[in-house]
Structure 1
Amino acid sequence: MNDIFTFVGEQWLLVGVLIALVYLYAWRERLKNGQPVTTSEATVLINAGTAQFVDVRDASEFKAGHITGALNIPFSKLAEQADSLEEHREKTLILVDKMGQHAGSAGRQLGAKGYKVCRLSGGISEWQNQNLPLIKK
């Protein structure tokens, strides 16, 4: 263990560059999945007519409560139903999930198909925590 500290002390420049590169890689990968937006930023985009909510939760969760005007394409069916978003290609797709577990993967899939995507930070849970309205079917 002492050898590790000696190495870091002697090669601090290399270790610093390695840490910077790891951070840069993680940051780049995060943006590939869709940049996170807050609930207020999402609301501004929707009100301006430049975005569309896409809820990637299961249909039962969607029916229990979803954002007004959101489209529901469950994550498990996203690959086969992505073409149904073609009419919204010019808009930013704001991906909504429960807490952020699937929005990144969904963002990567849709981004690869040429869609501009963002992720709702905190998912529907954060939307509810902000006391914003939900539609229940």
Structure 2
Amino acid sequence: MPTLLAKHVHSLLKCLGAMLVFVLLTACQGDDFTALTPDSARTAYNSNPASFLDVRTQAEWDGGHLVGAEHIPLDKLEKSVSAVFPDKDQAIVAYCRSGRRASNAAQILKGMGYSNISVVVAGGYAELRQAGYPVEER
């Protein structure tokens, strides 16, 4: 039995990963934002109307971020967002390390009247980077 499991670990991990993405996406369906994977966010990244918002800490941002993204750490979002995004109908795609802070940011933005919010929920910055998005690193 252990040999059978060892032979199928890769398939099992892929299946578990797919299930995790499914759970994350369905968990966000009732929220007031669109849940995106790194692949589904590519269209938004390549279109001018959408702006990417990195809500990670300053140290995380300094370690690398998407080219063209705006940076507002989650704990400064309410104070700073209107200066960076004055148009509350502008398409904004929030990301962080895992999706949790970006989801919190989306809720804050919705509460402030922003209407077109998406969140990269699966994998965050590391997955965006791995998917080939252009990044700036110091």
Partners of 1:25 and 1:120 in 2: CA distance? 13
1:82 pairs with 2:77: no
Which amino acid is 1:118 matched to?
Answer: S
Stretches (4+) displaced over 4 A? none
Structure 2 residue runs without a partner (length 5+) = 1-25
Partners of 1:56 and 1:26 in 2: CA distance? 18
Counterpart secondary structure, 2:39: helix
Partners of 1:81 and 1:93 in 2: CA distance? 15
Over the residues paired in the alignment, what is the CA RMSD in angstroms? 2.2
Structure 2 contact 54–95 (Cα < 8 Å) conserved: yes
1:128 pairs with 2:125: no
Partners of 1:38 and 1:26 in 2: CA distance? 12
TM-score normalised by length of structure 1: 0.70
Structure 2 contact 54–71 (Cα < 8 Å) conserved: yes
Counterpart secondary structure, 1:89: coil
What does 1:40-119 correspond to in 2, within 5 Å? 40-115=39-114, 116-119=116-119
Report the Cα offset of residue 102 of structure 1.
0.7
TM-score normalised by length of structure 2: 0.70
Q: Hey, what does 1:15 align to over in structure 2? A: none
Report the Cα offset of residue 88 of structure 1.
4.6
Q: Hey, what does 1:6 align to over in structure 2? A: none
**Percent of aligned pairs sharing the same letter:** 24
Report the Cα offset of residue 26 of structure 1.
7.2
Structure 1 residue runs without a partner (length 5+) = 1-23
Which structure has the highest helix share of the two?
1
Structure 1 contact 52–88 (Cα < 8 Å) conserved: no
Structure 2 contact 39–131 (Cα < 8 Å) conserved: no
